[in-house]
């Protein structure tokens, strides 16, 4: 598997505004958001490092479950790969299962089951271009295709 870079890191938080303030103070980054996500959550994206803060907006859904089960912290790492099909086959040959796979807006993605990767989902991403965050942002909606 050829890995190009870490595209982003998902951090699940209880209070997105407080977390954005903390990371801004500590790391000198600025966040865009919060933006409403496709699932019951809001997300904020930093301007340099690839941090994505995620706060559930209800007690149900994937992000709410992560927060309830494990508390705040890193939930997923987005990894840009050159050939996602080869990367998927390689990880599957090593016994890793995937929760979700698909393609949307010129972005191919596959998300590992975190049970196989020490509690952190790996989001394999294949996309063209130089953008650091391959998200489709429209108005106040962050469309995260794998959520």
- Tens digits of per-residue pLDDT, 21-33? 999 999 999 888 7
CATH of the domain at 16: 3.10.180.10
| Domain annotation covers residue 142 | no
Domain that holds residue 49: 3-128
What is each CA distance from 72 to 15, 18, 93, 101, in whole angstroms? 10, 12, 31, 25
23 assigned to some structural domain: yes
pLDDT tens track for 112-146: 999 999 999 999 999 876 554 434 333 334 445 54
Determine contact, residues 146/41, Cβ cutoff 8 Å: no
> 55 and 63 in contact (C-beta within 8 Å)?
yes
The model carries a pTM of 0.83
Rounded to whole angstroms, the Cα distance separating 87 from 91 reads 6
Peptide bond just before 11 cis, omega within 30 deg: no
CA distance 64 to 85: 30
Question: Could you report the per-residue pLDDT of 63-93, keeping only the tens digit for each?
Answer: 999 999 999 999 999 999 999 999 999 999 9
């Amino acid at each position: 598997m050829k890995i190009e870079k870490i595209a982003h890191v998902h951090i699940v938080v209880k209070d997105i505004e407080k977390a954005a303030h903390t990371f801004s103070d500590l790391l000198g980054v600025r966040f865009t958001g919060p933006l409403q996500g496709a699932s019951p959550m809001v997300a904020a994206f930093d301007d340099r490092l690839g941090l994505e803060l995620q706060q559930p907006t209800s007690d149900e859904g994937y992000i709410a479950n992560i927060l309830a089960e494990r508390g705040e912290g890193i939930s997923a790492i987005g990894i840009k790969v050159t050939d996602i099909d080869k990367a998927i086959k390689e990880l599957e040959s090593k016994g890793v299962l995937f929760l979700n796979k698909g393609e949307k807006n010129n972005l191919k993605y596959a998300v590992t089951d975190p049970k196989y990767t020490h509690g952190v989902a790996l989001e394999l991403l294949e996309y063209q271009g130089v953008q650091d965050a391959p998200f489709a942002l429209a108005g106040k909606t962050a469309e995260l295709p794998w959520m």
